[in-house]
Amino acid sequence: MVTTDLMNLLCFGPGLPDGGSPCSGRWVDDSLQLDLPGGSVTVPAAQVTVTAGGFDGQQMIVHWQDAAGRWSCSPVSAADQQQFLAAAPDTLGSQLARWRKRVGRTRAGFHFGWLVLGTFFALPLLALLLFWLNADRIAGWVAQRIPQAEEVKLGEMSLAQVRAQMKLTQQGEAARVVRDIGQRLTQGSRYHYQWYVADDPTINAFAIPGGFVVVHSGLIKATDNPEELAGVLAHEVQHVEQRHSLKGMVHNIGLSALMSLALGDMSGTVLANMAQQLGGLKFSRDQESQADLGGLEALKRAGISPQGMIHFFDKLSKQDGGNIELLSSHPASDNREQALEQRVRQMGSWPAQPLQYNWPAVKQSLKDMR
C-alpha cells in the first residue's frame, strides 16, 4: 500500500459550509482518502475530474460525485498542490497534463495583464521624465516655431505688464540717444524695435521678445560714454534676435501650457501665461556668450568701438556684490573680458568713429524724467 503525507485541502460538498471546509487528505494507492467532518471517505482516482479555477485561474480543483451529490476539493498551498501532483496515480496523467497546460496559459495571460496595466501607468511618467530631461531642447524647438506676429503680440503683453510696474518713456534726450544708437545696431533686422528708458535707479536693461528694449536710468548713469551704452544695447538686442527671451518664457510656462503651444495653440491664455514669465527670466552662460559675440558683430557692422562694451562689463563685474540686477539675470563668466578681447582680435579691428553725444547732458536729462 502506497501512502503519502497528509495534504491540506479545502473541501466543498453536501453538508459543508458554503466557504468550504478545511480537511486533510492523502493518496493511498489509486485513491484519494479524505478526512471530512462527516467521516473519512475514499475516492478512486478514476472517478475524479481535475480542473483549473479560483480567482486567478491557477487553482487545482478536484471534482467527484457520489450518492449524496457533487463534491470538490483544492490543495491549499503550492506545496500541497505539488504533493498532490507528485503522488497522483498514472490514471490521472492526461487530466493533470491538461490542467498544467491550462494553468500555464492563464499564468502567461495574467502576467501579460500586469504588463499592460503597468505600462498604462508608467508611460505618462516616462513621458514626463523624457520631457524633463529634454525640456531645454523642447523649449528651443517650440520657440523657433512661434510666428513672429505672435511673438510681437506676446512682447506687447509683457510690455504692458512692465508699464504697470515702472515708468517708461520714449521722450527726452536719453531716450533719443538710446533709440539712435539702438537703430544703428539693428539695421536690417526682421524686428521693428521700440526703445524705452525706465525711471529706475538700479543698473539694468532688458529685452522683450518681439523687439522691445528697456534701459534703466540707473544703467545710463553708470556709463562713462556712449560706447558703453552701445555695448549693453548690442548685447540685449541679441537676446531678441536669437530668441533667448522667448525660449526662456516657453521654458517657464509649465508642461500643460507648453503642450498646447506645441500643438499650435497661440491663444491669449497661453501668451498671457508666457508674458508673465518676463520678470523671472535668467539667461544661461551659453546664451550670454552668444549675446556677447553677436553683440560684437553688431558693433562692427555699426562702426562702433567694442572697447565700451568690454570696459563696461568689466567695470560691473568689479563692482558686483551680487546686487547689480543686470548681472543677476545675465550671469557673466569669469573670463568674459578675455573672451571678448580674444574675439575682437579674431574679428580684426574695425574703423570706428567716437559716438558724438554730449554725455553729461544725456545724464542730466534723466533728472527731468522725475
> For residues 9 and 291, which CB has a smaller minimum distance to Zn ion in the complex?
291
Residue 332 DSSP label: P
Question: In 3D, which of 12, 99, 20, 88 has the Cα closest to residue 58?
Answer: 99
Q: How far is the CB of 194 from Zn ion (least distance, A)?
A: 19
Q: How far is the CB of 190 from Zn ion (least distance, A)?
A: 20
Those residues whose C-beta lies under 8 Å from the C-beta of residue 266, and which sit 6 or more positions away, are: 146, 147, 150
Those residues whose C-beta lies under 8 Å from the C-beta of residue 26, and which sit 6 or more positions away, are: 3, 4, 5, 6, 7, 32, 33, 87
Q: How far is the CB of 125 from Zn ion (least distance, A)?
A: 36
The helices-and-strands tally (H runs, E runs) of the chain is 14, 11
Residue 3 DSSP label: B
Q: Which position's Cβ is nearest Zn ion?
A: 330
> For residues 25 and 231, which CB has a smaller minimum distance to Zn ion in the complex?
231
> For residues 330 and 336, which CB has a smaller minimum distance to Zn ion in the complex?
330
> For residues 71 and 212, which CB has a smaller minimum distance to Zn ion in the complex?
212
Quick check: helix, strand or coil at residue 84? Answer: helix
Q: How far is the CB of 184 from Zn ion (least distance, A)?
A: 19
> For residues 110 and 283, which CB has a smaller minimum distance to Zn ion in the complex?
283
Those residues whose C-beta lies under 8 Å from the C-beta of residue 164, and which sit 6 or more positions away, are: none
Quick check: helix, strand or coil at residue 262? Answer: helix
Q: How far is CA 77 from CA 52, 87, 112, 288, 357, in A?
A: 15, 16, 24, 68, 95
Contacting residues toward Zn ion, per CB under 5 A? 283, 288, 291, 330
**Cα–Cα distance measured from residue 150 to residue 268, given in angstroms and rounded to the nearest whole number:** 10
Q: How far is the CB of 328 from Zn ion (least distance, A)?
A: 11
Q: How far is CA 101 from the centre of its chain?
A: 46
Q: How far is the CB of 316 from Zn ion (least distance, A)?
A: 12
Q: How far is the CB of 288 from Zn ion (least distance, A)?
A: 5
> For residues 283 and 357, which CB has a smaller minimum distance to Zn ion in the complex?
283
**Cα–Cα distance measured from residue 242 to residue 26, given in angstroms and rounded to the nearest whole number:** 83
> For residues 10 and 310, which CB has a smaller minimum distance to Zn ion in the complex?
310
